[in-house]
Structure 1
Amino acid sequence: MHSNIVATVGVEHPTYGAPSLVQGVYGARGNLELAACDVTDGLWVFWYNSDLADDSLEPSDVGPGAWSAGLRFAMGQRYMDAVILQGTLGPDDLEVLALDANAVLQSWYWSAPHGFQRRTTDAATDVASFAAEHDEGTLTVQVETRHGAHHLAVSGPSPYPERQWQQRPGERGRNARATTTPDAAVCAVLTASGISIPEVAPGTIRAADSNRCGGTTELTWRDAAGRIRHLGVPQLAR
């Protein structure tokens, strides 16, 4: 069932920027995967156990309906933005694209039992902002450079787990990911859940759809204190 309980994610780990959330394939009902940049060093990934208490569960240190304490990786660099995607190769590896402080868009993947690994080939350089989509093993990244140019970086499924990137023409304005001003439906949901819109950090609201509870819109944002917040509501028309 849905609830109006707003969860705080990663309470003990200061993070930076807008979080990225996707529904994964792990667990009986598809856990949620959330990636965020550490304030000073590396990346964090948190996962939400979507299973119910009466599901046939494998042993886990995270109970049903709870967020994990977080896994830190990619230490040694500061990151400005990150996106996590559920892949179909590997099988079912997770994909992470992470923009470091030197404007390099790094390509990472997670596979069992090896964990997160950085690929030898980066997705793009001179990057100011980006957005990414996954479709049957192909990654398409919309890139805006620091000089205002736009292009696509596209990687097909071969030769996985490595990726080769091709640059293609892109369109201005397609790569905005965060909602600076949330739409009326999102504002109404947050307000009804006791969240004051002025207390939401500008540019950090994101919405992702999942199939939990018959269809859920997973809202994430950062509050005025810098904490990552999560709220799942019946799927909104967007």
Structure 2
Amino acid sequence: MSKNKHMLANSSALVGADRPTAGPVSLAQGVYGARGNLELLACDADDGLWVFWFNADLDSDPLETPDVPPGSWSAGLHFAAGHRYVDALIVQSTLGPDHLEVLALDADGVLQSWYWSPGPGFQRRETDAATHVVRFAAVHAVGVLRLTVEGAEGDAHHLVSTAAGYPERSWAPTATGAPLADEASARALIEAAGAASVGIAPGTARTAASTRDGGTTELTWRDDAGRIRHLGVPTRA
């Protein structure tokens, strides 16, 4: 059985177990490799961010990354040193082409806007997305980012950033944004997959969709020891 097939069983994989990360993580499907890799973003416990990537290729595909063979997670890349973050989100962009978008909420409530491109890597934009933020969510479509931000009083508002001026971004109020994370539903899926025996730390259960194996729900959470867990559950009939 290949590691990728194993990742679709009820045994979850550890991600970055030797890295000092904290809080919920964000996962998105990328466009790299023969079948589209996975990108996972986590906050460092004290300083900066960590990004990990999963090789979703099969053993039968051409081996492009011997250091991260099919069915394996990378050791992680640290960036954004100089700030402590409490939450962060990563999405695959259609711009660049094939850039990555990152929104990272620092401990002062500033929602920073970053992007990744080949060569320079991760770069912070001059304009932040929002301030006085406690919680946020974002969706991306055809270069447009739609954002929902929630303040300390529970007040939520929506922002949009179009592709105009890319790679820089500006933000404007809009009527609709993105749904905030539904932890209860994610927790229920982890439990239904039979993967909850390792524990699910409060506030960390998340879901994402990918095209792996014809359609997969990608589940992420932290176990009782605070380690990042990942499990792919097939969504096809």
**TM-score if structure 2 supplies the norm length?**
0.91
Q: Structure 1 residue 86 and structure 2 residue 87: aligned? A: no
Measure, in 2, the Cα distance between the counterparts of 1:215 and 1:39. Answer: 32
Question: Matches of 2:10 and 2:187 in 1, distance apart?
Answer: 19
- Structure 2 unaligned segments of length 5 or more: list them: none
Residue 230 (1) aligns with residue 236 (2): no
Task: Indicate which of 145, 148, 158 corresponds to 2:154.
Answer: 148
Give the count of matched residue pairs: 231
Structure 2 Cα separation of the partners of residues 5 and 107 of structure 1: 35
Question: Is the CA contact 1:28–1:51 (under 8 Å) kept in the aligned structure 2?
Answer: yes
Q: CA 1:236–1:123 in structure 2 vs 1: closer, same or farther (change >3 Å)?
A: farther
- Measure the CA separation in 1 of the matches of 2:223 and 2:124: 30
**Aligned amino acid, residue 15 of structure 2:** V
Verify the 8 A CA contact 1:129 1:175 in the aligned structure 2: no
Q: Secondary structure at the match of 2:135?
A: strand
Asked if structure 1 preserves the Cα contact closer than 8 Å seen for 2:187 and 2:200, the reply is: no
- C-alpha deviation, 1:144, in angstroms: 0.7
Is the alpha carbon distance of 1:54 and 1:170 closer, same or farther for their aligned partners in structure 2, counting shifts above 3 Å? closer
Q: How far is 1:185 from its partner?
A: 4.2
Which residue number in structure 2 is paired with residue 202 of structure 1? 202
Partner of 1:71: 77
* Selected match of 1:3 from 9, 32, 56: 9
C-alpha RMSD of the superposition:
1.8
Q: Which moved more, 1:105-114 or 1:162-171?
A: 162-171
Instruction: Please name the residue that 2:192 is paired with.
Output: 188
In the TM superposition, residue 12 of structure 1 has moved relative to its aligned partner by: 0.8
Q: Structure 1 residues 15, 167: closer, same or farther in 2, change over 3 A? A: same
- 1:176 pairs, out of 177, 180, 183, with 180
Deviation readout 1:170-192 (Å, 9 max, x if unpaired):
68xx6421504646444221x2x
Runs of at least 4 residues of structure 1 off by over 6 A?
A: none
- One of 41, 49, 58 as aligned partner of 1:43: 49
Distance 2:109 2:187 in 1: 30
What is the CA deviation profile of residues 78-107 of structure 1, one whole-angstrom value per residue up to 9, with x for unaligned ones?
001000000000001000000001100000
Q: Percent identity?
A: 59
Task: Determine which of 115, 126, 134 is the counterpart of 1:128.
Answer: 134
Measure how far apart 1:62 and its partner are. 0.5
Counterpart of 1:221 in structure 2 is 221
1:232 corresponds to which letter in structure 2? G
Aligned amino acid, residue 101 of structure 2 = E
Q: TM-score with structure 1 length normalisation?
A: 0.91
Q: How far apart are residue 6 of structure 1 and its match?
A: 1.2
SS at match of 1:4: coil
